[in-house]
Amino acid sequence: MDKYAIITPVRDEEEFIKLTLESVISQTIAPAKWIIVDDGSCDQTPRILDSVTKEYPWIQVIHRPNRGFRKSGGGVVEAFYDGFAALRATDWDFLVKLDGDLSFQSDYFQKCIEEFRCDPNLGLGGGMICRLENGQLKEDSIGDPPFHVRGATKIYRRECWKQISPLVQAPGWDTIDEVKANMHGWTTRTFRNLKLVQHKPTGFADGSWRNWFKNGLANYMTGYHPVFMLAKCVKRTFQKPRVLAALALWAGFCSGYLRGIKPPGNGDFICYLRQQQLRRLFKRPSIYC
């Protein structure tokens, strides 16, 4: 049986962490290890987490000191690596990065592993992130490119992980990893039939403008081609929230140039990504279609 290990970075998730705990504990195939990294929470999250370790020895909680602020992008990866350092090599064939505000069916991980078994070339995958609106489940990942897997639920095949790690500790990490995987010949995709409910809207902690600005900066950090980014912003004006999101995306992207930030990807990576983006603009086969 293939083994999977989960790492869950959390910060101030007292409202929803119990839903994630219940979802993982009820899985038809339990993880070999679940390491939850409390990234300096100031609410009741640490108490809730510590209470479950007594009953489930395969759950381990690591407490990080409070840095005093939420570190967008890089903070979650820092916390993730604290958890990764506590894993043993024998604990996993699949490594899962899972957020602490999700709920999902009891056979979620069993079916995810089946997806990997059916496709030996699949290096990175994860379920479809959804939100509840008036009691109805709405897909939140609509519009994402087909190779993209939301950072809230990433599952890495061990062989793929070895080739693409370490994760970048900066905004854009959750696109850089999958583009790297595609560079190495792996496929990456979201399992649209396997749904997870995200109870805290993406970017909720940052606010609307800051969230879209952060996404634009993440696109810059990833190495997006400026022409592709401009086309993305133009397309965004036809989706809600219309002008605000497009302006914030473009402002965040341009801020990387104005601040002289060096994208973390090397020349080969950025060349590959921009080539794929130009192929998409000219309607040629690429990882975007």
Tell me what percent of the chain is helix, strand and coil, each rounded to the nearest 5. Answer: 40, 20, 35
How would residue 71 be classed by pLDDT, with cut points 50, 70 and 90? low
Domain boundaries, the chain: 4-198, 208-281
Q: Distance of CA 126 to CAs 59, 136, 219, 267, Å?
A: 21, 21, 21, 28
Structure tokens at 125: 């995958």
Nearest residue to 70 via CA among 129, 12, 136, 8? 12
- Give the pLDDT of residue 165: 96
Q: What are phi and psi of 274, to 5 degrees?
A: -65, -35
Residue 20 has pLDDT above 80, yes or no: yes
Q: Cβ atoms within 10 A of the Cβ of 283, count?
A: 8
- What is the secondary structure of 180-222 as a DSSP string? HHHHTT-EEEEEEEEEEEESS-TTTTT-HHHHHHHHHHHHHHH
DSSP code, position 91: G
How would residue 72 be classed by pLDDT, with cut points 50, 70 and 90? low
Share of the chain above pLDDT 70, in %: 95
SS3 category, 236: helix
Residue 48 has pLDDT above 80, yes or no: yes
Cβ atoms of residues 45 and 12 within 8 Å: yes
CATH architecture of 4-198: Alpha-Beta Complex (3.90)
pLDDT digits (tens, 9 = 90+) for 160-196: 999 999 999 998 999 999 999 999 999 999 999 999 9
- Give the pLDDT of residue 68: 72
How would residue 141 be classed by pLDDT, with cut points 50, 70 and 90? low
pLDDT digits (tens, 9 = 90+) for 82-97: 999 999 988 999 999 9
- Give the pLDDT of residue 246: 94
Mean pLDDT of 57-66: 95
Structure tokens at 145: 């490119």
Mean pLDDT of 265-271: 95
How does the average pLDDT of the chain come out, rounded? 93
pTM: 0.93
Q: At what angle do helices 226-236 and 267-281 cross, to 10 degrees?
A: 50
For the chain, the distance separating the N- and C-terminal CA atoms, rounded to the nearest angstrom, is 33
- Least reliable range by pLDDT among 25-39, 45-59, 138-152: 138-152
Share of the chain above pLDDT 90, in %: 83
pLDDT digits (tens, 9 = 90+) for 186-218: 999 999 999 999 998 765 555 688 989 999 999
- Give the pLDDT of residue 258: 97
CA angle 289–219–191, rounded 5-degree value = 45
